[in-house]
A and B are shown apart, each in its own frame.
Chain A
Amino acid sequence: MDSSGDRWLLWVLRGSAVIAGGVTLLVILFLVAASVPAFQHLGVVRFFTDASWHPAEYAAEGTFNLWPMLVGSLLVTAGAVLIAAPLGVGAAVFCQYYAPGAVAATYRRAIELLAGIPSVVFGFWGLIVLVPMINQWHPPGQSLLAAVLILSLMILPTIAMISDASMAQLPDEYRFSAEALGLTRWATVRGVMLPAAAPGVLTGLILATGRAIGETLAVLMVCGNIVQIPTSAFEPVRTLTANIALEMAYAAGDHRASLFVTGLILTFIVVALVFIVEKINRRFSSLIP
């Protein structure tokens, strides 16, 4: 027995765990540190009450209203989740209870592959194929609608795969009992399976929401990037994430710091969603894969 060697190993592993866990702390620390000048020179209120978003290096020279971009992010996310939720949950129900085995396997594989397409390729496809189509229908094409459609495709696999996995975990007795009661297939799905799988489906929806609100490139490439609160789905918008990607290249001083504030806001939203998922998981731990 070599207990000194064991102790040495344990300390190396423990040290690694400290570093890995510490990365989170480091990320948040540097985000906060880089945001501080903005809070000092601008405060919080100006991000919502300034006349517009025309940032400058010094707080006094520019205007810093983030509100239209926060609205942009929320609209794009809400739209994408509204479209992807029925399609994603539908895909899971279809694979579990409706499709013949081979069709279900193929469809599952297609959704897995869809999940593997990188966001920049989604954005490129949206820019080349989708935006011109929307432009013909209702110019200018680069719009809230284009962003919503592309984003819904991107988050659909998350919803579908998590819902599918949580339905696969339901005990067979549920199906047998529903069968014994003489329920039709749809009544079984709607009355028994969906409610039983609800925590898992909800987890998928929340994770997809987090993914949507944090997505940058695909949205940036198709949304038009004009800072405004849109009055129709055909108008361009700009999201918080796109704003960071577009302006980091030349931002300095308080402008740069306010981009970090944006990053901080996004992180808080997504982390809050992660904690909600964890709450759900803990309460319904037996029902979630």
Chain B
Amino acid sequence: MKSLIHRQRKPADAFAAVILWVMAMAVSFVFVWIVFSIVAGGLSSISREFLTKPPEFSGRSGGISTVLVSTAVILMICLGAAVPLGIATALFLSEFTGNDEWFGRLVRRSLDVLAGVPSIVFGLFGSVFFCRVLGMGYSLIAGGLTLACMVLPIFIRSAEAGLRAVPEEYRSTAAALGISRRAVIFRLILPAAVPGLISGLILSLGRAAAETAALLYTSGYVDRMPESVFDSGRSLTVHIYDLAMNVPGGNSHAYGSALVLVVLLLIINGAATWIGEHGLRRRLIRS
């Protein structure tokens, strides 16, 4: 397709091409620069001890083991709440409402609004609703549930897309055979939509793992090993923030933590992309 547009030697044309190439190189350069700084700064502090020992002296020395545990717990709580609720809502939106039904439209519209709410505002909401009104205090569970509210619209959107990608013949054939809706959903539609659901889940996981602002005033700063979900615990992102802003001499471990976080997110996002493409290809081949 591209060859159909001839290269013509007019000054404006050449000028535009040069500008576009320069802009692309500039953006790529900055991207490589950021990645290089994080890797170069972080590698020296990464070691087995860094991953397996708790932080000492506010994180200046020691490791990040307790921080990793808190992060994992927060993320599990987040997905544990968002995924079942999200799948059920997505099923309702894709299987039981047409586009025109007012209730489905209302739910979709409010999820669109929720998707736009800034993350610090989720933090405000969580600090009132989960920490105060529900009495959870600064805790892993309050942080995890706040994140669940935040990722809910993202997860529902991609789960719904996954469900809608299941061929319509599945439903009509099953209906013709007189199979109950329940059986159709659990035996046919959900299994067929698994790749879409998983890529939505991983997308939400990546978004939650990258979040800081919503956690500052919900799960808090405590860097000890949490003993239950009602203890406060700091996530990896909050750890980086605290080391960089509040701990003089914390930069080397902030670099190390940033490298761990970026590698973690690379794996998560890479998996989402891979599953998205893989699942899509399977569907295309089938049809």
Residues on A facing B (Cβ under 8 Å): 1-3, 5-6, 9-10, 12-27, 30-31, 33-34, 86-87, 90-91, 93-94, 97-99, 107, 110-114, 116-125, 127-129, 153, 156, 172, 175-176, 178-179, 184-190, 210, 213-217, 221, 241, 244-245, 248-249, 259-260, 263, 266-267, 270-271, 273-274, 278
Task: Determine chain A's interface SS by DSSP, over half rule.
Answer: helix
User: CB distance B28 to A274 under 8 Å?
Assistant: no
Q: Which of B2, B31, B37, B125 contacts A31 (CB 8 A)?
A: B125
**Which residue numbers of B lie inside 8 Å of A, CB to CB?**
1-2, 4-8, 10, 12-13, 15-17, 19-21, 23-24, 26-28, 30-31, 33-35, 37-38, 41, 84-86, 88-89, 91-93, 95-96, 103-104, 106-107, 110-125, 127-129, 133, 149, 152, 156, 178, 180-182, 185, 206, 209-213, 216-217, 237, 240-241, 244-245, 251, 254-255, 258, 261-262, 265-266, 269, 273
The answer on a CB contact under 8 Å between B269 and A90 is no
Interface contact A31-B124, CB-CB below 8 Å: yes
Question: Which residues in A have their C-beta under 8 angstroms from that of B7?
Answer: 185
Q: Which of B86, B117, B240 interacts with A124 by CB under 8 Å?
A: B240
Chain B residue numbers with a CB within 8 Å of A98 are: 17, 20-21
Which of A87, A114, A176, A244 is B124 in contact with, Cβ under 8 Å? Answer: A244
Contact yes or no, A260 B124, CB < 8 A: yes
**Complexed CA–CA distance, A248 and B180 (Å):** 52
Asked if A87 and B23 sit within 8 Å, CB to CB, the answer is yes
In the complex, what distance in Å separates the CA atom of A112 from the CA atom of B41?
23
Given contacts A16-B85, A26-B129, contact A179 B4 (CB under 8 A): yes
Which chain B residues lie closer than 8 Å to A267 at the CB level?
Answer: 116-118, 121
Out of B12, B120, B216, which one reaches A184, CB within 8 Å? B12
Q: Which B residues are in CB contact (< 8 Å) with A118? A: 209-212, 237, 261-262, 265
Residues of B within 8 A of A26 (CB): 125, 129
* Pairwise interchain contact A121-B261, C-beta atoms closer than 8 A: yes
Say yes or no: A113 contacts B210, CB within 8 Å: no
Leading 6 A-B pairs by shortest Cβ distance: A214-B118, A118-B210, A16-B88, A13-B92, A21-B107, A24-B110
